[in-house]
Amino acid sequence: MNRRHFLQLAALAGCGTLSGCMRQTVRSNEKADRPNIILIMTDDQGYGDIACHGHPFLKTPNLDKLFTQSTRFTDFHVSPTCAPTRSALMSGRVPFKNGVTHTVLERERMALSSTTIAEVLKTAGYTTGIFGKWHLGDADAYQPDKRGFDEVFIHGGGGIGQSYPGTCADVPNNKYFNPVIKHNNTFVQTNGYCTDVFFQQALSWIEQSKDRPFFAYIATNAPHAPYIVADKYKALYEGKCPDKSAAFFGMITNIDENVGLLMKKLDEWDLADDTLLIFMTDNGSAAGTYNYGMKGKKGTVNEGGCRVPLFFRLPGKIKPGVDVDRLARHYDIFPTLAEFAGAKIPKGYDIDGRSLKPLIDNPKADWDDRYTFFHKGRWKKKGAPGQWGKGNTDPDKAKYTGFAVRNEKWRLVGKNELYNIDTDPGEQKNVAKENPEIVQKMLKAYEAWWDEVRPLMVNEDASLDTVQPFRVQFEKQKKEKGIGRWNNPRYN
């Protein structure tokens, strides 16, 4: 290296020595090999709840832009409801293996034996942050700061203000506007709409963390019910659909604006080319009016209950405008992120997922067919009060209720419905009688899967006679120190 070249490097790097320049160059190279990762997951937004998927009047210009810049998985499936999906995403394992068979009644708690993707990424030098909805356990041992997250900015329970029998509960009387949020084990009073608040905090943390690889998990509670949003967003859709759906779509447009702000800031901070940006949702639509021709919505094991968007953007390394039509699942995200980060999955930790990176690199790559299983869970709990304890409380009696099996071609729904997804993606023609051998083969595979996961349902007998730790800590802090103020720079 000649002196002129050295001085150019020194000026560009803002350093006064060759060793300093070389260190910064090494850091840059290391970051290039390990992209930052931002994973956005919205709540109850289905495959059809986005303009670029053909919705006739929903406005999502920023998600549409992200769509054009991404490789998209068009046959990506999650669980029928939220906590199971979150556990699969975090652990790389099917939800029932995490003990997550419901969204409440202690069955939302992700088993402490499960390793999270945040823990794996930290071994590769990443700093990690979660912003929004956790919903995998509100007791201290289950909280995200104990599961690999350095920065924690969350509400409790299954949603803002929610409370259920057992430990699952948020701050009492919490609201979508100006919510109280738990920030690194201290409760703070925020200012603004919940989705805006979560993105603002994520942006603040990203700006502070941009000199090292980071993983930001932005999990909005919107557009989950109650359908509350500023009037200006709801007004965009009034008269076009029922009031509930108008607010639901307004919440999605607000999410879209925040996604646009995030992409703008990544550009301004010169992070876009070094950041893997992912968008997905947690289950089928709850209040949408357009379902992409699919059968079923949230809570069902049909295509419309489980098939959701999945976009991957990494400029220069992931091709834009490409569709991948191979069957993929939520538990595939774990090994995919690990591979992008160059992180090793702990030896002896068995996962159900497999990395999607070969398909991202080449949508025509070899991809062995596989059976993948769905179950809505949600059976009742013995000893639970009211509606929670009435009805069947035996998991084994729910074995054949609300299940499905998919491979690349077929979807078996229950024992007696079979659909050819290649020719009938809307599941309109039951061809079970014409294909009894396929039904029996898929049913046998499901029964083997049930036998595998049944012993791992570790939360079934958990007592509901317990305090609600999230609330207890909030009340204690309120009494002793008061609720802190959220001081955060605004990004416009």
297-336 residue pLDDT tens: 999 999 999 999 999 999 999 999 999 999 999 999 999 9
Residue ranges of E strands in 190-230: 214-219
CATH code that applies to domain 372-456: 3.30.1120.10
In which residue ranges of the chain is pLDDT below 70?
Answer: 1-32
Alpha-carbon distances, residue 169 vs 50, 165, 469 (angstroms): 31, 8, 8
What's residue 266's pLDDT?
Answer: 98
CA-based nearest residue to 403, from 302, 332, 308: 302
Q: Which fold has domain 36-361?
A: Alkaline Phosphatase, subunit A (3.40.720)
What's residue 489's pLDDT?
Answer: 85
Q: Is 252 within 8 Å of 233 (Cβ atoms)? A: no
What's residue 125's pLDDT?
Answer: 97
C-alpha 37/C-alpha 121 separation (Å) is 10
Please state the domain extents for the chain. Answer: 36-361, 372-456
Is it true that 36-361 and 372-456 share their CATH fold? no
The two tokens of residue 461 are 């007998």
C-alpha 270/C-alpha 203 separation (Å) is 14
What's residue 28's pLDDT?
Answer: 44
The two tokens of residue 98 are 């995490």
73-122 residue pLDDT tens: 999 999 999 999 999 999 999 999 999 999 999 999 999 999 999 999 99
Alpha-carbon distances, residue 471 vs 71, 88, 230, 409, 474 (angstroms): 42, 26, 27, 47, 5
What's residue 490's pLDDT?
Answer: 85
C-alpha 352/C-alpha 404 separation (Å) is 17
Q: Collect all residues with Cβ–Cβ distance below 8 Å to 198 and sequence separation of at least 6.
A: 131, 132, 153, 218, 220
Q: Is 155 within 8 Å of 170 (Cβ atoms)? A: yes
What's residue 2's pLDDT?
Answer: 37
End-to-end CA distance of the chain: 43
Q: Collect all residues with Cβ–Cβ distance below 8 Å to 454 and sequence separation of at least 6.
A: 96, 395, 396
